[in-house]
Amino acid sequence: MNLGTIFLSEFVGITLLILLGCGVVANTALKGTKGNGTGFLFVNWGWGIAVFVGVLASAASGGHINPAVTIGLAVHDAIEGKSVDGADIAVRILAQLLGAILGAVLVWLAYKQHFDEEPDPENKLGVFSTGPAIRSYGWNTVTEVIGTFVLVFTVVAFNNFPALKEGNATSLGTLTPLAVALVVVGIGASLGGPTGYAINPARDLGPRIAHAFLPIKGKGSSDWAYSWVPVVGPIIGGVLAGVAGAAGLLPGAM
C-alpha cells in the first residue's frame, strides 16, 4: 500500500472519529443543545460509535486512527522480528494529528451558536480535549497508561486471531470495528472517570490545538500544562501492550 493511500485513509478515519466523538461531548456539555446534560454514559457510547465509524472509514489502512495503536503494533512486530517501516508510521501519525484537528474544527462549526451561548470556558475546552477530575499528573498518566494498554492489547489480539491455530479462535473479520468500539465503551465506563480517557494522543492533542487557534467566544485557556499527559500516557500504554502481545500473553499464542 502506498503512503498516499495510508495518509488519506487515516486522515478520513480520524476526522470522522473526532467529529462524532467530540460532537457527542458538545451535545451533552454545551448550553441549549438537544442533548444537554445527558451524561457520561451517553458520551461513552457516542465515542464508541465514533470509533466504529472511524475504523470502518479507515479500513484500507488497517483502521489505526490512533498513534498509540500504530506504535503498539510496530513494537509488537519489531519484537517478533517483522519489518517495521518508519515512513509508514510517520505518515500515519501525521495524518492522525491533522485529521483530528480538522474533526475538531468541524465540531466547532456544527455547534458554533452553542459555543457562543455557553458561559463556562471549561465546558468549551472539555468538548475538545480531556482533563482530570483530580489533577495529579503522575496518577493521571497512570490512568491513561492502563486504559490505553487495554485498548491496544485488545487490538493486537484481534490482529493475532487469523494466525491462531484452527479451533482456538476465529478471525473477527468485518466485526472487528464493532468489537473495538465496544472495548472503547467499556474503557470509558470503567476507567474513564479520573481523566476522561483520551487513550489516543492525536484525539487529545489535535483538538487542543484547534481550541487554541479557533476564535471561540470566551474560550479561556487550552490547559497546555496538562496536555502532555494524554500524549505520553497513551504512548507508554501502547508500547507496553505491544511488548505484552509479543511476549506470548495473547490467547493461543503459547
| CATH code of the domain containing 84 | 1.20.1080.10
Q: Classify burial at 128, counting beta carbons within 10 Å of its beta carbon; exposed 0-12, middle 13-18, buried 19 or more.
A: buried
**CB count in 10 Å sphere of residue 87:** 9
Q: What's the average model confidence in pLDDT over 3-26?
A: 98
- What mean pLDDT is predicted for residues 224-250? 92
Whole-number average pLDDT of the chain: 92
Question: Tell me, what's the pLDDT at 251?
Answer: 53
Block residue for cell numbers 473479520: 173
Question: Is 163 part of any domain?
Answer: yes
The count of domains in the chain is 1
The confidence score (pLDDT) of residue 174 equals: 64
Q: Which residue has the cell 495524518?
A: 95
Lowest mean pLDDT: which of 58-62, 88-92, 201-205, 235-239? 58-62
Query: Residue 204 falls within a domain, yes or no?
Result: yes
Reported as a single tens digit per residue, the pLDDT across 136-187 is: 999 999 999 999 999 999 998 877 765 443 444 444 556 788 999 999 999 9
Q: What is the percent of the chain where pLDDT is above 70?
A: 92
What does the pLDDT look like over 193-224, one tens digit per residue?
A: 999 999 999 999 999 999 999 999 999 999 99
Q: What share of the chain is helix, strand, coil (3-state, %, to 5)?
A: 70, 0, 30
More confident residue, 224 or 80: 224
C-alpha cell read off for 61: 489502512
Rounded Cα–Cα distance for residues 117 and 26 (Å):
12
pLDDT for the residue numbered 172: 52
Q: Give a yes or no: residue 75 inside a domain.
A: yes
User: In the prediction, which pLDDT does 254 show?
Assistant: 43
Query: What is the number of other CB atoms lying within 10 angstroms of the CB of residue 1?
Result: 10
Contact 127, 43 (CB under 8 A): no
pLDDT of residue 158: 79
Flag whether 251 is in a domain: no
Mean pLDDT of all residues in 91-97: 98
Is residue 161 one of the residues assigned to a domain? yes
235-244 pLDDT, tens digit each? 999 999 999 9
In a domain, 252, yes or no: no
Q: Please indicate, yes or no, if residue 101 is contained in any of the structural domains.
A: yes
> Domain of 56?
3-245
Q: What is the Cα–Cα distance from 18 to 85, expressed in whole angstroms?
A: 26
Q: What angle do CA 153, 198, 83 make, to 5 degrees?
A: 40
User: Which residues lie below 8 Å from residue 217, measured CB to CB, with a gap of 6+?
Assistant: 115, 116
d(CA 218, CA 136): 26
C-alpha–C-alpha distance, residues 254 and 238, integer Å? 21
251 or 189: which leads in pLDDT: 189
| Dist. CA 85–CA 6, nearest whole Å | 12
pLDDT at position 249: 67
What is the pLDDT, as a whole number, of residue 170?
A: 42
Give the residue with greater pLDDT, 36 vs 166.
36
User: Is residue 217 in a domain?
Assistant: yes
- pLDDT at residue 228 in the model: 98
